[in-house]
Amino acid sequence: MKIDLMNIDKFIEVNNVQEVTNPIYFNKGSDPTDDGLFSYSIFGRTGSPERKSTYGYISLRDYFLHPLVYKNLIFLNRKFEECINGFSYFTISADGDLVPSNEDEGKTGIKFLYKNWDKLSFKSSDSNKRDERIDFFKSIKKSEAFINKYLVCPAFYRDKSVSGGSTKVDTVNDLYSRLIRLAMALDTNDNTDIELVTNTTRANIQNTLQEIFDYFIGMTKSKTGIFRQAIMGRFAHNKIF
């Protein structure tokens, strides 16, 4: 199962992708915020070619699993989901297995997983599908499995619309906005000594990344031809999935 994961940092550098930092969509008067998800300066003016092709990115403030890596990890062992969400405590055994533990001896959360990633090992079985996923993990580096930035789709494909005097936005914008707010909260939470708070924020960031990923997977399976061509074509070409 060989899958090339996109180098997001390189994509940002080569394409001069700008950061989206504001979770608020519009200023008073319904003009887009200059640093937000509908920004003219980041994504181009409405109706321009740039608005169809220009990406933004969100800084995650820390390292999180690439959504495709997360999905394959959960398929291998549901205990990783418990760890990432902070539901249970774990240690890493000498043979690389994730072992349930108690609060005194174990750790939990995505940060624990990141620190111990290279210690993990996955056992083969009589399942070809499982072995394919194990091969996938053997083929990627830690620097590929984890990301600290996430791309924002060009505004054209999620742009605002006005109906009956009210402005409507696509669902994915709410997910992007939530991601920005959570990353901002992570900066604040990291200054506290309450591990539960920071683990919860990190879990929410990871789960929001999954929701965005699943949203686009769902859209590319639809019959919306132009959206499928634009999103799947660009993402597949750049190997973001």
CA 153/CA 150 separation, integer angstroms? 10
CA dist., res. 6 & res. 228, Å (int): 19
Which amino acid does the sequence have at 53?
A: S
pLDDT in tens, the chain (241 residues): 445 688 899 999 999 999 999 999 999 877 899 999 999 999 999 999 999 999 999 999 999 999 999 999 999 999 999 999 999 999 999 999 999 999 999 999 999 999 999 999 988 887 888 999 999 999 999 999 999 999 999 999 998 876 655 667 889 999 999 999 999 999 876 555 567 778 999 999 999 999 999 998 887 665 454 445 444 444 444 433 3
Locate the domains of the chain by residue range.
8-237
* Cβ atoms 3, 67 nearer than 8 A: no
Contacts of 25 (CB under 8 A, 6+ apart): 32, 33, 36, 37, 38, 160, 169, 173, 177
Query: What residue has token string 């111990």?
Result: 116
Alpha-carbon distance 179 to 45, whole Å? 24
Where are the extended beta strands (E) located within 15-141? 18-19, 56-65, 89-92, 98-101
